[in-house]
């Protein structure tokens, strides 16, 4: 079945440095990927998404890279700030009708060290 996994459960980064959060997925037919940030006591917050026909997409201080060959997704956060401390989830979407749901990874806890 589908599964989305994360390489590292925790990540600590010095404030101002760049961070990279990785995600592996197993369903080669997934056509859409999305990153969420979840702070304590809040619901997941949309960060950035990417479709399978792209390999890179940039937002404000964030970049998502998609490598379909090795089924790998990453989120890069530039110049990290204390407010970036949170749990980050990747999610994939199946392409088949009736299976168009998001499957979430287990999450990576990012801690920004002041």
* 40 touching another protein, by CB under 8 A: no
Cα angle 84-6-67, degrees, rounded to a multiple of 5? 95
90: left (phi over 0), alpha (psi -120 to 50) or beta: beta
- 10 Å CB burial of residue 60 (0-12, 13-18, 19+) is exposed
How many residues make contact with another protein (CB under 8 A)?
23
β 102-104/62-67 pair status: unpaired
Considering only 20, 22, 32, 72, the residue that binds another protein (CB under 8 A) is 32
Segment interacting with another protein, rule: CB under 8 A, options 17-25, 56-64, 71-79, 91-99: 91-99
In the bound complex, what is the minimum distance in angstroms from residue 20's beta carbon to another protein? 21
| Other Cβ atoms closer than 10 A to 18 | 13
In the bound complex, what is the minimum distance in angstroms from residue 44's beta carbon to another protein? 5
C-beta of 98 vs 114, nearer to another protein: 98
Using CB under 8 A, list all residues that contact another protein: 32, 34, 36, 41-46, 49, 89, 91, 93, 98-107
């Amino acid at each position: 079945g589908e599964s989305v996994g994360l390489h590292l459960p925790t990540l600590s980064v010095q404030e101002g440095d760049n961070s990279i959060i990785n995600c592996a997925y197993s369903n080669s037919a997934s056509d859409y990927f999305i990153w969420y940030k979840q702070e304590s006591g809040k619901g997941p917050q949309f960060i950035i998404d990417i479709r399978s026909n792209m390999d890179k997409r940039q937002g404000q201080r964030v970049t998502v890279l998609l490598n379909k060959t090795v089924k790998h997704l990453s989120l890069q956060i530039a110049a990290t700030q204390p407010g970036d401390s949170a749990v980050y989830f990747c999610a994939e979407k199946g392409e088949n009708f009736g299976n168009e749901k998001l499957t979430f990874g287990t999450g990576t806890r990012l801690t920004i060290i002041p």
